Amino acid sequence: MTQNKGKGFTRRTFLKASGAASALLGSAGLGFYGYEAGKDPRTYRGWENWEGVNQDFNRKKYAVDKPTYLKVGETSRPDARSDVIFYRRGLFRRQWRDETGLEGLDPYLQKYYRQNPEHLELDLYSQNELMPKLMADTRKYRKQFLLAAAWSNAMGAVGPPRITEPPEKSDFMLNRRTGQPIEAVQFKDPVKTSKLIKKMAHELGSTLVGIARLNPDWVYSYTSIGRGFKSDEPIEVPKHWQFAIVVGTPMSWDPLYANPTYGTSNDAYSRSRIIGFRLASFIKQLGYGARPHTPGTDYDLMVPPILVDAGIGEQGRPSIVITPELGNNFRPAVITTNLPLVPDKPIDFGVQDFCKHCKICAENCPSGAITFGDPVEERGYLRFKVDTAKCLNFWNSTLGSMGCRLCVAVCPYTRKANWIHKAALKVTADDPTGLTEKGLTFLQKKFYPGPDPQTYYMPSLGGENASYRPPPWWLRSEDFIE
Ligand code: SF4
Ligand code: SF4
């Protein structure tokens, strides 16, 4: 998987490896101080500093010519109606009747379930058994998670404006009199335009920003959520979707560590959604096409490989992208556009190799959705595969605010910006021997052990409503509410 690891050994000197080993020993001895320093609010990096000043990782040093996923066969575009779990579950709920079974579903769903019978079983289990239990337990334990749920709902209270027109219409600012797109301003130089767009993304609230040339393989072949597309007609990739600008913001640290019961994704969803719409608006006013694809589910394309293409990070074992700045603690939005830009290069800072050995997320995942195995081929590309149906069923097996982000909370790359974690990140990226990653994985397991994954389940499923870390003071309902 890793493409520059071989040449890295010759390019990166043995001296660096020795430095890695000694830094590792030092960090082992002083791990306790590092752990304590992580509690300092000044180390909550990401959303507190939009200019990225604290983000001092030299990304250019790790730039590579090709993305870190591998193309191994004939590629095809994903059908969001069946491949995206949220869309599929919605369609399944509307279409499934016990009397008609599979035959009563739309042909693409029938085909999908015939190829993936285990997902029919999981989707049926969710509908018939899990959701009724979730509702009953939610009522029973409501008071314990009242503040967490209210906070999560508050963060998600402002939804995205609805896009209802096809991209050729909705992505442009139209002249009110003629109904035609307004004239595009002429920029002097795409290099300068890219710099401007990145600065603007930070000004609009983004922590991360990168640019990719849009690979059409990542655009859905069909979708079921509208946005100007009909669910029974194939999506033709619009001509003006030439570049993808990606932005991202982190989730709040302390609730993240108190997953799955006290965390939420809504905080970062909401911030990234707003930035996506703001940046699209900025570009449209200059006469170019721009469409925001924003969280939770308002996407016409697959986001993780675009993040890889844009040099934001590498796809890790849970299939989400790990960045040098925030680990995998961030939520992205994408803006597709025809504004002439210069794409960033992908980066390789050692994540693929780290993930091969680490497996901490797979060990801590309560649902078994994350593979312990190697990357496998999907639609022509090699990547770690995650069982999204198992994952979503676990979301509905836990109480609290919304879903699960344990694979984010436990990842060694997702640590606060104290000196020990910053040093460890740099040393890992430069160590060609693999010794550092093994040592750091050991330290991570030693210093950050979590509860037995089965205790995260809600009581009616045999669990204890456990959290990875205790909840932050401001989400402990028992301290505030009678
Ligand atoms: S926990 Fe380990 S295996 Fe999982 S994504 Fe993070 S580094 Fe990779
Ligand atoms: S979100 Fe939770 S259930 Fe889903 S893959 Fe991550 S750890 Fe597993």
- The pTM (predicted TM-score) of the whole model is 0.90
CA of 439 to the centre of ligand 1 (A): 14
Give residue 56's pLDDT. Answer: 65
Give residue 19's pLDDT. Answer: 45
Give residue 32's pLDDT. Answer: 56
Assess whether pLDDT exceeds 60 at residue 13: no
Assess whether pLDDT exceeds 60 at residue 30: no
Pocket test for ligand 2, best of 256, 361, 370 (most atoms within 8 A of CB): 370
pLDDT band at 43 (very low <50, low <70, confident <90, very high): low
Which residue from 308, 464, 317 is spatially nearest to 400, judged by alpha carbons? 464
Pairs from 462-465 (Cβ < 8 Å, separation ≥ 24): 463/397, 463/398, 465/141, 465/144, 465/261, 465/398, 465/399, 465/400
Q: Is 258 in the pocket of ligand 1 (CB under 6 A)?
A: no
Write out pLDDT tens, residues 386-427. 999 999 999 999 998 778 999 999 999 988 776 667 777 777
- The percentage of the chain sitting over the pLDDT mark of 90, rounded to a whole number, equals 75
CA of 75 to the centre of ligand 2 (A): 27
pLDDT band at 147 (very low <50, low <70, confident <90, very high): very high
Which residue from 386, 358, 67 is spatially nearest to 210, judged by alpha carbons? 67
* Contact criterion met (CB below 8 Å) for 47 and 249: yes
Q: In what side-by-side order are the strands of the sheet with 208-213?
A: 208-213, 243-249, 331-337, 290-293
Q: Which ligand is nearest to the CA of 259?
A: 2
Q: Which ligand is nearest to the CA of 349?
A: 1
Assess whether pLDDT exceeds 50 at residue 221: yes
Write out pLDDT tens, residues 279-291. 999 999 999 999 9
Q: How far apart are CA 385 and CA 163, in angstroms?
A: 31
Mean pLDDT in residue range 10-20: 42
Strand partners, 210: 246
Pocket test for ligand 2, best of 396, 397, 404, 452 (most atoms within 8 A of CB): 404
Q: Which ligand is nearest to the CA of 456?
A: 2
Assess whether pLDDT exceeds 80 at residue 250: yes
Phi, psi of 233 (to 5 degrees): -120, 135
Q: Is 360 in the pocket of ligand 1 (CB under 6 A)?
A: yes
Give residue 325's pLDDT. Answer: 85
Q: Is 440 in the pocket of ligand 1 (CB under 6 A)?
A: no
**Atom 1, ligand 1: which residue's CA is nearest?**
411
Which atom of ligand 2 has the smallest separation from the CA of 394? 3
Which residue from 409, 401, 360, 407 is spatially nearest to 388, judged by alpha carbons? 407
From residue 63, give the alpha-carbon distance in Å to each of 36, 351, 388, 429, 433.
Answer: 33, 13, 30, 12, 20
Phi, psi of 55 (to 5 degrees): -95, 85
Which atom of ligand 2 has the smallest separation from the CA of 368? 8
Which residue from 371, 349, 360 is spatially nearest to 440, judged by alpha carbons? 360
**Atom 8, ligand 1: which residue's CA is nearest?**
355
Q: Which ligand is nearest to the CA of 361?
A: 1
Assess whether pLDDT exceeds 90 at residue 439: no
Assess whether pLDDT exceeds 60 at residue 3: no
Assess whether pLDDT exceeds 60 at residue 457: yes
- Min mean pLDDT across 3-7, 45-49, 295-299, 366-370 is at 3-7
Domain around 203: 57-80+140-417+445-482
Mean pLDDT in residue range 229-247: 97
Residue 191 is assigned to a structural domain of this protein = yes
Residue 102 is assigned to a structural domain of this protein = no
Assess whether pLDDT exceeds 70 at residue 10: no
Residue 475 is assigned to a structural domain of this protein = yes
CA of 394 to the centre of ligand 2 (A): 7
Phi, psi of 334 (to 5 degrees): -125, 140
Residue 17 is assigned to a structural domain of this protein = no
Q: How far apart are CA 116 and CA 430, in angstroms?
A: 41
Mean pLDDT in residue range 79-102: 96
Residue 463 is assigned to a structural domain of this protein = yes
Which atom of ligand 2 has the smallest separation from the CA of 364? 7
Residue 87 is assigned to a structural domain of this protein = no
Assess whether pLDDT exceeds 90 at residue 198: yes
**H/E stretch holding 71:** strand 70-71
Give residue 460's pLDDT. Answer: 95
> For ligand 2, which residues put their CB under 6 angstroms from it?
318, 365-367, 369-370, 386, 391, 394, 404-407
Pairing assessment for the beta strands 331-337 and 243-249 based on DSSP bridges: antiparallel
Give residue 433's pLDDT. Answer: 80
Residue 317 is assigned to a structural domain of this protein = yes
Residue 230 is assigned to a structural domain of this protein = yes
Assess whether pLDDT exceeds 80 at residue 27: no
The total number of structural domains that make up the chain: 1
CA of 468 to the centre of ligand 2 (A): 13
Pocket test for ligand 2, best of 256, 315, 363, 405 (most atoms within 8 A of CB): 405
